[in-house]
Amino acid sequence: MGTPGREGSVDVSRRNPIASWMCAMLYCFASYIMADVLLGESPLHYFNNTSHILLATAVWYLIFYCPLNLFYKCVAFMPVKLVLTAMKEVVRVRKISMGVIHAHHAYHHGWIIMALVGWAKGAGVALISNFEQLIRGVWKPETNEFLNMSFPTKASLVGAVIFTLQQARWLPISKHNIVFLFTIFMVVTKIFMTATHSHGSPFAPIEAFICPIVFGNACGIYDDHD
């Protein structure tokens, strides 16, 4: 369950609860919606879990309409936030792994499909943020998550590729171990970044090394400074 505490959302929630609710649902379940769309299933498939939706609705209601903004303050309180961040990353890695397996069931040898669906599962809302913003009446076509990838998006892509390689039995390591190791990496990195308010990506040195060789230009540097 995400905690959308961005500017503008509060405005929308005051003016129009339904648009706010739709954004919150899209924010919480974007990864399921995207994976279902990419695999040709109903985008509303996940909404069959009525209890999950009601729980997310309760969280949404408490965050935006709780008297004195108490709930948001609790959630944004640093120690609580760190625990939630850690839990979010654990869920993210599990989602990526599930996405790869889900795609594997539909397309047994569609390695590229597996990686893309796993990526969509891990970085759901970031990849459709342009359209999530559109519901709130905001439209920023000049940027998107493909052009300026955040750390979780890049990490999800890396994770999806690794899990796909494991699924294809090209990695000499069991699924359980690789999920465990990747979860540790994600949780430690994200907690460190949240605690220090850092935006530097741990991938930056690797990119700075690989990009000039493969793509003839220091592409990674642009991503961070933009």
Amino acid code (one letter) for 92: R
Residue 68 interacting with a copy of itself (CB under 8 A): no
C-alpha–C-alpha distance, residues 50 and 139, integer Å: 31
Residue 204 interacting with a copy of itself (CB under 8 A): no
**Assigned token pair, 197:** 């308010």
Q: Which is nearer to a copy of itself, 50 or 196 (CB)?
A: 50
* Count of residues near a copy of itself by CB under 8 A: 59
Residue 109 interacting with a copy of itself (CB under 8 A): yes
Residue 19 interacting with a copy of itself (CB under 8 A): yes
Which residue in 60, 44, 57, 80 sits closest to 9, CA to CA?
60
Residue 180 interacting with a copy of itself (CB under 8 A): no
DSSP label at 49? -
In whole angstroms, the minimum distance from the beta carbon of 180 to a copy of itself comes to 27
Candidates 1, 53, 98, 204: give the one binding a copy of itself (CB under 8 A): 53
Q: Which is nearer to a copy of itself, 79 or 216 (CB)?
A: 216
Task: Give one DSSP letter per residue of 91-113, joined into a string.
Answer: HHHHHHHHHHHHHHHH-TT-HHH
C-alpha–C-alpha distance, residues 222 and 177, integer Å: 34
Residue 2 interacting with a copy of itself (CB under 8 A): no
The answer to whether the CB of 39 falls within 8 A of the CB of 64 is no
C-alpha–C-alpha distance, residues 125 and 44, integer Å: 15
Q: Which is nearer to a copy of itself, 105 or 176 (CB)?
A: 105
Residue written as token pair 């539909």 = 106
Binding site for a copy of itself (CB under 8 A): 12-19, 22, 36-45, 47-48, 50, 53, 65, 67, 106-107, 109-113, 116-117, 130, 134-139, 141-144, 146-149, 157, 211, 214-217, 219, 222-223, 226
